[in-house]
Structure 1
Amino acid sequence: MTDLTFREAEPADVAAVVALVESAYRGDSSRAGWTTEADLLDGRRTDEAGIAAVLEAPDATLLLAERDGRTVGCCELRRVGELGYFGTFAVDPATQGGGIGARLLAHADAEAVRRWGAPALEMTVIAQREDLIAWYERLGFVATGERRPFPYGDERFGRPRRDDLEFVVLRRPTATPRP
């Protein structure tokens, strides 16, 4: 097995990225990993138009992690003010727990500094995902205290299975030393 390589996604990668994100968060395939949202949301996590929009945005990119020529991870990195927004983060459920996510996050961190001089990364996580929030906290993220509403009624984000979903905002300084 070869090591990970990183690159920016291109339009030809859109379908593979959608499949990766869906497999990590929705449906039965997502239950093979620990990032599933299948108990919280039905429907799609993203679609080709959403991923293509990231690629077309002037201050955004979609980073890919590849192993043996196969995409095993992805994340969106977007400039929001002086910060780097980190989202659309997915790792192939069959490879979760092997360090790919932490390495992809470290790569995104370095890219946010290189591209924009971002002093921090910010992200949102569904508040009910306590296990995922704890993982991000182990990697240096801290809850800001800010909460954002879940976009109920916008099926681009899925169909909620409960009525109390909301996002917590997490932030960490860039170039945070890793454990």
Structure 2
Amino acid sequence: MDARPATDGLTFRDATDADVNDLVALIESAYRGDSSRTGWTTEADILEGQRTDAAGVLEVIKAPDGALLTVERDGRIIACCQLEHRGDHAYFGMFAVSPALQGASLGKVIIAEAERRARDLWGATQMHMTVITVREDLIAWYERRGYRRTGRTTPFPYGEERFGIPQRDDLEFELLVKGL
């Protein structure tokens, strides 16, 4: 993928091995612990423990059919998202925006760039993602961006603490899809 400056002071580029620690810190701050409560994407009430680790982030960076799109402002990483080419569609995941910057329309800009890349670089006709079904506010945000619920669910990986420690027993993922 390409490094591309955006008109609003953002730079989009593929993550490198040197970014791993900063990306882990960003992702953890957006989803876990008290720092995540600054923003609105927190999972702190439904999951404890880690969201990801260095090995997980490095795996996404090294994936042959994907990238971890990194967003910088003034040379500092402020957001990221995973993009993976899966035939006629792309997968969108590991989306994190610094909690202090959430709610300022940054997410809309990033997801639009991710969709553009999936369409233009891979010829993807759809974007897929999975969201924890109890995250109704987050699902509603994606629906406002054109994603639709499919009703297709997969179980949460209970017992695999590298994805977090569930605080409830009704967690599952639902597939959301958008035509590109």
Q: Normalising TM by the smaller chain, what interval?
A: over 0.9
Q: Partner residue of 1:137?
A: 143
Q: Partner residue of 1:172?
A: 178
Q: Partner residue of 1:10?
A: 16
- Alpha-carbon separation, structure 1, partners of 2:14 and 2:110: 12
Q: Partner residue of 1:20?
A: 26
Q: Partner residue of 2:82?
A: 76
Q: Partner residue of 1:177?
A: none
Q: Partner residue of 2:115?
A: 109
* RMSD of aligned alpha carbons: 0.9
AA at the equivalent of 1:61? A
CA deviation string 1:17-57 (max 9, x = no partner): 10000000000000000000000000000000000001111
| Count of aligned pairs between the two proteins | 173
- Alpha-carbon separation, structure 2, partners of 1:11 and 1:114: 25
Aligned 1:6-155 pairs, distance under 5 A: 6-155=12-161
AA at the equivalent of 2:146? G
- Alpha-carbon separation, structure 2, partners of 1:109 and 1:76: 11
- Alpha-carbon separation, structure 2, partners of 1:44 and 1:10: 21
- Determine helix, strand or coil for the equivalent of 1:32: coil
Structure 2 gap segments, 5+ residues each? 1-7
TM-score (norm 2): 0.94
- Alpha-carbon separation, structure 2, partners of 1:80 and 1:24: 26
- Determine helix, strand or coil for the equivalent of 2:168: coil
AA at the equivalent of 2:89? L
Per-residue deviation, 1:156: 1.4
- Determine helix, strand or coil for the equivalent of 2:35: helix
Per-residue deviation, 1:104: 0.8
- Alpha-carbon separation, structure 1, partners of 2:154 and 2:31: 20
User: Which of 134, 141, 166 is residue 160 of structure 1 equivalent to?
Assistant: 166
Per-residue deviation, 1:115: 2.1
- Determine helix, strand or coil for the equivalent of 2:40: coil
Identity between Structure 1 and Structure 2 (%) = 58
CA deviation string 1:124-171 (max 9, x = no partner): 000000000000000000001101110001111100001110011100
- Alpha-carbon separation, structure 1, partners of 2:89 and 2:154: 17
Structure 1 gap segments, 5+ residues each? 175-179
Per-residue deviation, 1:69: 1.0
- Alpha-carbon separation, structure 1, partners of 2:85 and 2:34: 33
Moved more, 22-31 or 96-105: 96-105
- Determine helix, strand or coil for the equivalent of 1:164: coil
